[in-house]
Chain A
Amino acid sequence: MSGYFKEIFDGGKSLLVGLGITFKQMIQPVVTERYPRTAPKMPPRYRGHIDLVRDEEGNNKCIACGMCQRNCPTGCITIKGEKPEGAKKKVLTFYRLDFTTCSLCGICVESCPTDALEFSKEYNLAGYSAGDFVFDLLKRCEERRR
């Protein structure tokens, strides 16, 4: 019989202890971020979708070798390059990233021989159609130049 009452007493105590913890937590400062009002700052290594790196003159460093395209596990990169007459190196004319299939593994950034790719810090990506996530990186690069 005493065991029965002890169980009730211990059980009731455990519930009160739990309530005490939640009460203590209630008067603690708020831990959540008020997201749309305060935007979080992304750490330097944050992996957003890839972007072309610009050099000092604002040009891209891509030599259109196609390593990123070849190494991509999901084939989400399409690039085209051509050699202008008289020039020694190939010049990038088209760089498309299909972000719907990208898994942000970073193999393209790693495999680039001229370090022409970087991760962007963009995280506010939402759209109404799959087409919203197909990026023309060359165009983005030109736009940032302006």
Chain B
Amino acid sequence: MSEWAADPSYETFVLNMGPQHPATHGALRVKLRMDGEYIVEAEPVLGYIHRMHEKMGENRTYLQFMPNTGRLDYLSALSYNHGYVSAVERAAGITVPERAEYLRVITVELNRISSHLLWVGAFVLDLGGFTPLLYAMDDREQILDLLERVTGSRLTYCYFRFGGLYNDVDDDFEAGARAIVKRMRDKLPMYHNLISKNIILRQRLEGVGPITGEMCRKYGATGPVARGSGIPYDVRRHEPYSVYPELDFDIPVYEQGDSMARYLVRMDEIEQSLRIIEQGLDKMPDGPVMAEKVPKIIKPPKGDYYFAVEAARGSFGVRLVSDGTNTPYRLKLRSPCFSNVSLFGEAARGMLLADAVAMFGSLDLVIPDIDR
């Protein structure tokens, strides 16, 4: 806080952004101490939709917790499914057939693209541009239709199972996925022409809301927020899991740390996800999608297990403490949005309110993920 703001005779006022605010996309409240249009202090107030997911994990069996994982970050539910099943598989020592792992990766990447597309639309909507939302929704719809044909649901998926998948994909899946890859490749230049190059958007994002790499390390920010600040951290590369080591993809990193960098990271990630899907479809072997010897009641041996995956918003980790019974002793869920929102207070200091809203949108927060 600057000197004049610390002076008690200097007049500031408190402004509440949220809990019901279009830019927070959910029930998140940010308490702002304002000096006119400038923010002196910002404090996110969490917990409005806390649902005790971690506690729920302790009083139900391992399988029964599955539907909960799709309801943390509902926009990339498959990544969360993946993180949880992999954690339990690691604990119980279950090996997954290769085909199932490939299908997991392909569906997760499709889900990542749909999540980023929705974010792009909603983010530009926050900044006052309505049209891109409709185009993004149209493309996202194709992905949701494909995933619906495979998983049976459109948003809160519950598709993965310990040892494999709920069911194998149908014959149309490969053609459908390839059609989406082609469609998105054709559409991406349109997005860049319409959004990335738009002068109004660039003026509002470039150089606005800088987040330094140091700040990301301090608050544990991951995902596109960290990669937009020059930290090349991606769980898929640094703690490889599933079949990611066999796939060739780049980690987009931008050094600027402003809102535009975070936007560009996500746009580039869509391209990389398309590459992953294409390679996955090429390399996917035939075979079973379910491991043969999976016990009906999962009872992992006593111990402490951790598994992290790269969700659309950053590193999602599951820490599982097992006491040998059929329910977890402790289930800690490390959600990326919680860390990403934590740095808002420091980063927003001294910003204009309108710029802070733009920066807030660029963090890509999903509120149920913050309040687990």
Which residue numbers of A lie inside 8 Å of B, CB to CB? 10-12, 14-15, 17-18, 21-22, 25, 31, 43-47, 71-73, 103-107, 110, 119
Beyond A21-B193, A73-B68, list 4 extra A-B contacts (CB 8 Å): A15-B198, A45-B150, A105-B67, A105-B158
CB distance from A79 to the nearest CB of B (A): 18
The answer to whether B156 touches A103, judged by C-beta atoms less than 8 angstroms apart, is yes
The answer to whether B199 touches A71, judged by C-beta atoms less than 8 angstroms apart, is no
The answer to whether B152 touches A105, judged by C-beta atoms less than 8 angstroms apart, is no
Distance, CA A18 to CA B190, complexed state (A): 9
Chain B contacts for A17, CB-based, 8 A: 193-194, 197
The answer to whether A11 touches B148, judged by C-beta atoms less than 8 angstroms apart, is no
Chain B contacts for A47, CB-based, 8 A: 152-153
Chain A contacts for B306, CB-based, 8 A: none
* Number of A-B residue pairs with CB-CB distance less than 8 Å in the complex they form: 68
Question: Which of B158, B161, B190 has most A Cβ within 10 Å?
Answer: B158
Q: B21 in the interface, Cβ–Cβ < 8 Å?
A: no
The answer to whether A106 touches B199, judged by C-beta atoms less than 8 angstroms apart, is no
CB distance from B142 to the nearest CB of A (A): 10
Chain B contacts for A14, CB-based, 8 A: 197-199
| Given A11-B199, A15-B198, A71-B64 contact (CB < 8 Å) | yes
Distance, CA A73 to CA B148, complexed state (A): 22
- In this complex, what residue of B is CB-closest to A48? B152
Chain A contacts for B151, CB-based, 8 A: 45
The answer to whether B148 touches A107, judged by C-beta atoms less than 8 angstroms apart, is no
Q: B65 in the interface, Cβ–Cβ < 8 Å?
A: yes
Q: B167 in the interface, Cβ–Cβ < 8 Å?
A: yes
Q: B166 in the interface, Cβ–Cβ < 8 Å?
A: yes
Distance, CA A47 to CA B154, complexed state (A): 10
The answer to whether B158 touches A104, judged by C-beta atoms less than 8 angstroms apart, is yes
**Majority SS at the chain B contact face:** helix
| Given A11-B199, A45-B151, A73-B67, A106-B194 contact (CB < 8 Å) | no
How many residues of chain B are within 8 Å of chain A by beta carbon?
31
Q: B138 in the interface, Cβ–Cβ < 8 Å?
A: yes
The answer to whether B166 touches A110, judged by C-beta atoms less than 8 angstroms apart, is yes
Chain B contacts for A31, CB-based, 8 A: 138, 141
- In this complex, what residue of A is CB-closest to B65? A73
The answer to whether B148 touches A25, judged by C-beta atoms less than 8 angstroms apart, is no
CB distance from B110 to the nearest CB of A (A): 15
Q: Name the contact of A73 in the complex, choosing from B60, B153, B167 (C-beta under 8 A).
A: B60
Chain A contacts for B141, CB-based, 8 A: 31
The answer to whether B158 touches A106, judged by C-beta atoms less than 8 angstroms apart, is yes
The answer to whether B167 touches A45, judged by C-beta atoms less than 8 angstroms apart, is yes
Q: B264 in the interface, Cβ–Cβ < 8 Å?
A: no
Distance, CA A106 to CA B193, complexed state (A): 43
The answer to whether B135 touches A25, judged by C-beta atoms less than 8 angstroms apart, is yes
Distance, CA A18 to CA B194, complexed state (A): 5
Q: Name the contact of A18 in the complex, choosing from B60, B64, B198 (C-beta under 8 A).
A: B198
The answer to whether A43 touches B158, judged by C-beta atoms less than 8 angstroms apart, is no
Distance, CA A43 to CA B172, complexed state (A): 12
- In this complex, what residue of A is CB-closest to B193? A17
Question: Which of A10, A105, A110 has most B Cβ within 10 Å?
Answer: A105
Q: Name the contact of B67 in the complex, choosing from A10, A22, A45, A103 (C-beta under 8 A).
A: A103
Distance, CA A52 to CA B68, complexed state (A): 25
CB distance from A2 to the nearest CB of B (A): 17
Cβ contacts A to B, 28 pairs, < 8 Å: A14-B198, A14-B199, A15-B198, A15-B199, A15-B200, A17-B194, A18-B194, A18-B198, A22-B194, A31-B138, A31-B141, A43-B149, A44-B170, A45-B149, A45-B151, A47-B152, A73-B64, A73-B65, A73-B66, A103-B156, A103-B158, A104-B152, A104-B153, A106-B158, A106-B166, A107-B63, A110-B161, A110-B166
Q: B20 in the interface, Cβ–Cβ < 8 Å?
A: no
Distance, CA A71 to CA B296, complexed state (A): 11
Chain A contacts for B158, CB-based, 8 A: 103-106
Chain B contacts for A10, CB-based, 8 A: 199
- In this complex, what residue of A is CB-closest to B56? A73
Chain A contacts for B197, CB-based, 8 A: 14, 17
Binary A-proximity of B288-326 (CB < 8 A = 1, otherwise 0):
000000000000000000000000000000000000000
| Given A31-B138, A45-B152, A46-B148, A107-B199 contact (CB < 8 Å) | no
CB distance from B173 to the nearest CB of A (A): 11
The answer to whether A105 touches B66, judged by C-beta atoms less than 8 angstroms apart, is yes
